[in-house]
Structure formats: structure tokens, C-alpha cells
Amino acid sequence: MSTVARYLKHCDVKLSLIVTITDDGGSSGILRQIMAIPPPGDVRNNLVALAEDEGVLRRLFSFRFSSEGIQRHSLGNLIIAGLSEMLGSFPEAVTAASRLLRTRGEVFPVSGEEVHLVAQLDDGSIVQGETAVALVGPKIRRVFLDREVRPLPEVLERLRNADTILVGPGSLYTSVVSNFLVKGISEAFCNTSAEVAYISNIMTQPGETDGFGLKKHVDTLEQYTKRSFDKVFWADASNIDKSVLKDYSSNGAFPVQNDTPDDGRVMRIDRLSVEYTYDKEYKYVIRHSEESIMQISNYLGITYEKDN
């Protein structure tokens, strides 16, 4: 979602991002365990994406330590964690960090409470924690939270009063569906008068969406949102270089195919970008580009104001 948000901030809209709070890996996992706060990593990524100034302060929030003992931590995560302790509130810490970065838009954790994602698999087994849910194994039958948590009032208010709601992209169960498991979110989503649209993932994700086409992605989401989407933006990777797709397929990830050609809600987005990465698993990463977000904004009738 943060990649899309980086370009959405150039649209002529009042932008509000609602971010999942179930991450339990890496720096976020360590901090939530030590400090009993929601994970700061996904929030940080979206704050950085919306930052007005892409200079030193933005890079500061993205900086990751390499020194022994703190090598897994992002400085931005530590800043948000410190603000949370200082202010006594995780949501207030996010608001303070947003002011520091002078973001073009708002960022809200879906809830200010700590919670874990749980999945029941096809073999009947139960796994807890976002990291465990995303591992390759039996298919996911259903996901739920380990306890009931309340959404932020601001989140419900933004959903009720929105003109347009975009869902995704992001890991289907662990980044997107997890938001709708918070009490009151799916109800607010159902009752809003906003146009609601889904931005599909470009590739399947090993362990979460093996073998999923566009229809399975949409059907799964609508099972949890309890509302049909008005528009579905399908990210078509057919023009991506075969060597890049081969790199993905060697890791068990494949383009999400449009297996609903007669669904009038589906709109093709094909202006994707490829970036080289130093990731141990993937040599390249396929992302939404500025041009693909311009395609989406045109479909939605939203003005895209490209910076000079």
C-alpha cells in the first residue's frame, strides 16, 4: 500500500490511510513484544510514503541500523515507539510523527490496541501470528483475531464520510483482510455511501495466495468486507520482462490472472515498474508506478497533480 500511497498523495484529494496492526516480524515484532504497542513498521512505511519532503528526514525514518544488537531495527520504528512511550498513546505517536514528516494526508492505525492474527488452515490446524500465517503450508481456511479490539473513532469517521475507498494492494490475509477483522470496520464499510474499489496484487504470494486468480482475491475479500466492490483494478503483468517473471516464479510467485473477463467492474492497469533489489529472495520487484496510479485516478475521475 505504501508504494501506491507515495503517488496517491499527488491526487487532488484529502487522503487518509488506514493501516493494519498485526505485523509481528522483524523490528516491529521485537518492539511490540518489548513495549506492548501495536507494530510501528507498516505505519512508518506509509508515513514515509506521504512525506512532503523526500530529503533527510524522510531518509532518517527509513534508515535501518547495521550495527550488532540493533541491526534489525529501523530508526523510524524506534522514533514512533519512543513517541508512543512519551505521549502514552500509539495513535498520538503516529500523529506526532506525521507532523514531523509534514505528510500529505493522514495515517491511522486501524486500532490503537495490540492484537495478533490467527488462521485456521485446511488441515484444521491453528497458527498464530502474521509471520506464521504467511508461511508456505496448507491453504488458509479462515483468519480471525486473537481478541476483540476497538477501531479508532477517526477510522470509522473517515470510512463513513469518504467519497472513495480504495482497498489494497497488499498481502491478502495479513495486510488487507486483517483490517476488516477489527470490530466495526466491515459494518462501516458496508454502510458508507462511498464508491469502493479494490487494487489487486500484481503477483500471488507464496503461503497466502498460491493459485489465486483475480476472482479468488475479490471473492475472499468480499467474504470479510461483506460488501461488493464497485470497481476492481487488475494489475496486468503480461508486459513484464520474462526474466523478471522467472525470478518470481523460482520463488513460487506468479502474476495474478484475470479469470473474470466478463466482470464489468474489472479495469486493466498495465503501467507497472520493475526495480532491481538486493533482497535475498528476489532480484527484482514489480511495483505500481506513477503511470499506473494515474490510470487508476483517471478511472476514478480524480485529478492527478504531477509535481514539476
Q: Which residue has the higher pLDDT, 213 or 6?
A: 213
Q: Which residue has the higher pLDDT, 67 or 203?
A: 203
Q: What CATH class has 146-308?
A: alpha beta
Q: What is the mean pLDDT of residues 91-96?
A: 98
37 in Cβ contact with 84 (< 8 Å): yes
Looking at residue 265, its pLDDT comes to: 97
Give the pLDDT band of residue 3 (cuts 50, 70, 90). Answer: confident
d(CA 243, CA 303): 35
Q: What is the pTM of this model?
A: 0.93
Pairing of strands 16-19, 106-109: parallel
Express each pLDDT in 266-300 by its tens digit: 999 999 999 887 666 778 899 999 999 999 999 99
| Domain spans of the chain, in order of start | 21-109, 146-308
Looking at residue 54, its pLDDT comes to: 67
Question: Other C-beta atoms within 10 Å of 68: how many?
Answer: 6
Give the pLDDT band of residue 136 (cuts 50, 70, 90). Answer: low
Looking at residue 260, its pLDDT comes to: 92
| Residue 197 clears pLDDT 60, i.e. is over it | yes
Residue 283: Cβ-neighbour burial (10 angstroms; 0-12, 13-18, 19+): middle
| % of residues, the chain, pLDDT over 70 | 97
165, β-bridge pairs:
196
Average pLDDT, the chain: 93
| Residue 308 clears pLDDT 60, i.e. is over it | no
Looking at residue 67, its pLDDT comes to: 74
Looking at residue 299, its pLDDT comes to: 96
Looking at residue 278, its pLDDT comes to: 67
Express each pLDDT in 63-88 by its tens digit: 888 777 676 789 999 999 999 999 99
